[in-house]
Amino acid sequence: HLLLLVLTITVLCVNFSEAKHKRKKYRGETLKPIKEELKVEEEPIEPAEEDVFVDPCSNKHCSPGQVCKLTGDGQPFCTCIEECSYETDPRRKVCSNLNTTWNSDCALYQMRCWCKYRDQKCQELPEDTQEQYRHMHINYYGECKVLEECTEGQMADFPRRMRDWLFNVMQDMADRDELSPYYLKMEREAQTNLTKRWTNAVVWKWCDLDSSHNRAVSRHELFPIRAPLVALEHCIAPFLDGCDSNNDHEITLNEWVKCMEIEEEDIEAHCEEIRDDE
């Protein structure tokens, strides 16, 4: 009996040990895929890219006196500006090429836009006035006034004064670090080489004005140099008008060179270098 009891206890211990081992194995096999599942779930989820709103008007160019608006289906279009701020500063007034004073450049361009697109606000004016306003532009800043006449002697000396003025402007911009590296190199060369003083200044301004790079400066491209100076320098308007020898509303490279009294070869070579460099 004692032997039978010992054998029974031994069998029970072995069965218990095997059962325990199986439970451990089963528990380990069960936990492994759960841990892998949790590991997958713990991986960071990249946020979805947000749609970036792009204003359709950001790439729509509108002429002066116009603003960009959107159609019902979101398409950009240009329309005449509805309202211009009233300016109290007399320096904000402008004088047109028709010798009429406007409260601001906005007001002038607004009227030109109305007449160009035959808005009712322009239709109330006489027909000949409407036609004139369609081609109106700013002549100079400030109220219209009787400008002093440029004498023959003053006009004869004006090319030299113009070259000097252009060099001074170029020099000031270099001091303020407002020139590109190529133009800055030209300015430094002009300071150390007197023969380059006028040539480089004229080249710089010519290439600066010729934004279309067609070697012809239009009346519109002349605006930055003409409008601010007419009221202060009474020879600038007849000088620039005289440069346009064939009266085609553009000043070619050859016409510009003759006005500035500089060798054409110098201007031509430098302009090519500037455009190739940029």
**Which pLDDT band holds residue 6 (cuts at 50, 70, 90)?**
very low
Assess whether pLDDT exceeds 50 at residue 2: no
Domains and CATH numbers, the chain: 58-141 (3.30.60.30), 152-277 (1.10.238.10)
Q: Are 253 and 268 in contact (CB under 8 A)?
A: yes
Mean pLDDT of 197-204: 85
Higher-pLDDT residue of 278 and 218 is 218
Mean pLDDT of 104-120: 95
Tens digits of residue pLDDT in 42-64 = 555 565 556 677 888 888 889 88
Nearest to 199 by CA among 221, 167, 241, 244: 167
Within a 10 A sphere around the Cβ of 106, how many other Cβ atoms? 19
Mean pLDDT of 69-83: 92
**Which pLDDT band holds residue 254 (cuts at 50, 70, 90)?**
confident
Higher-pLDDT residue of 273 and 258 is 258
Predicted local distance difference test score (pLDDT) of residue 26: 47
User: Exposure string (b/e) for 210-245, b if CB count within 10 Å is 16 or more?
Assistant: beeeebbbbeebbeebbbebbbebbbbbebbebbbe
Percent of the chain with pLDDT over 90: 35
Tens digits of residue pLDDT in 145-194 = 998 899 999 999 999 999 999 999 999 999 999 988 888 888 888 888 87
Burial class of 263 by CB neighbour count within 10 A (0 to 12, 13 to 18, 19+): exposed
**Which pLDDT band holds residue 239 (cuts at 50, 70, 90)?**
very high
Mean pLDDT of 126-131: 94
pTM: 0.62
